[in-house]
Amino acid sequence: MDVLLKVNGTEHRLAVDVRTTLLDALRERLELTGTKKGCDLGQCGACTVLLDGMRVLSCFTLAVAAQEAEITTIEGLAGENKPLHPMQKAFLEQDAYQCGYCTPGQILSAIACVQEGHANSADQIREYMSGNLCRCAAYPKIVAAVQQAKLLMEGP
């Protein structure tokens, strides 16, 4: 069936199987492979994207159901040779990853976490970032990165 997806400000018209997840549409059809598949079961958070600024699991969202929304993926935060989003910069500087596979999902989740107002303390960040598994276990540095970026995102 035909769908219209608005991804990172660009409209894409494509024909998908009705069962196609937003995750597979992004990765397999639009070659936006920054969004990762870690379980396809809603358990890991690696596939997190923003739909109208809200974090959702793209493996648990059908492509047909994402048509009305503005979709933001990791590729939409900073273009090639463009300045990084404060959250990307914070992950880079804090070494808030190892293999980097969970990182796109962590970064989008972290941006939403700050915007939701759920980044007011280390404990709150830990709780509200617990939907994103990191098998490399960069958790303490992810908390530090969210704290660093929050200051820049919210301004003085």
Partner 1 sequence: MPDGNQTIIGQPAIRIDGRAKVTGMARYASDEVVANPAHAFLVTSAIARGRIRGFRLDAARAVPGILDILMHGNVGGEAEKPKPMSGGDTTTTLESDRVWHDGQIIAVVLAESFEAAREAAHKVEVDYEAEPPSATFGSPGVEEEVRKAGEHKDYKVGDAEASFAVAEVKVDARYGTPTQHHNPIELFTTTCEWRGGKLTVYEPSQFVYGLRGSLAKQLRMDPGDIHVVSRFVGGAFGSRGGITARTAWIAVAARRLNRPVRLVATRDQGFTIVTYRAETRHHIQLGATRDGRLTALRHEGWEVTSRPSEYNVSGTETTARVYACPNILTKVNIVHADRNTPGFMRAPPETPYMFPLEVAMDELAVALNMDPVELRRINDTQTDPATGKPYSSRSLMPCFDQAAERFGWKGRNPAPGTMRDGDWQVGWGCATAAYPANIGPAAARVTLTLEGKARVQIAAHDIGTGAYTVIAITAADRLGLEIGKVVVELGGSELPAAGLAAGSSHTAGICNAVAKACEGVRQRLAQAAVTSNDGPLAGQDPAKLTLSAGALRAPGGAAEDLPKALARVTTGVLEVYAENIPKGLPPESIGKVYQGQMAMSRGHSREDATTYTFGAQFVEVRVHALTREVRVPRAVGAFAAGTIVNPLTAHSQYMGGMIWGISAALHEATEIDPHAARYVNDNIAEYLMPVNADVRSIEVIMVPEQDAQVNPLGIKGIGEIGIVGMNAAISNAVWHATGRRIRDLPIRIEDLL
**Rule CB under 6 A: which residues touch ligand FES?**
37-40, 42-47, 57, 59, 97-103, 134-136, 138
For residue 4, the minimal CB distance to ligand FES (Å) is 23
The option from partner 1, ligand FES, none interacting with 70 (CB < 5 to 8 A, set by class) reads: none
Residues 103-132, mask of contacts with partner 1 (x by CB under 8 A): xx--x-----------------xxx-xxxx
DSSP calls for 104-152: HHHHHHHHHHHHTT--SSHHHHHHHTTTS--TT--HHHHHHHHHHHHHH
Q: Which is nearer to ligand FES, 93 or 151 (CB)?
A: 93
Helix (H, G, I), strand (E, B) or coil at 62: strand
* Among 78, 65, 85, 52, CA closest to 21: 65
Q: Which is nearer to partner 1, 5 or 46 (CB)?
A: 46
Between the two ends of the chain, the Cα-to-Cα distance in Å is 48
Which residues, in sequence order, are CB contacts of 28 under 8 Å at separation 6+? none
* Chain positions contacting partner 1, by CB under 8 A: 17, 19-20, 24, 27-28, 31-41, 43-44, 46, 73-75, 77-78, 80, 84, 88-89, 91-93, 95, 97-104, 107, 125-127, 129-143
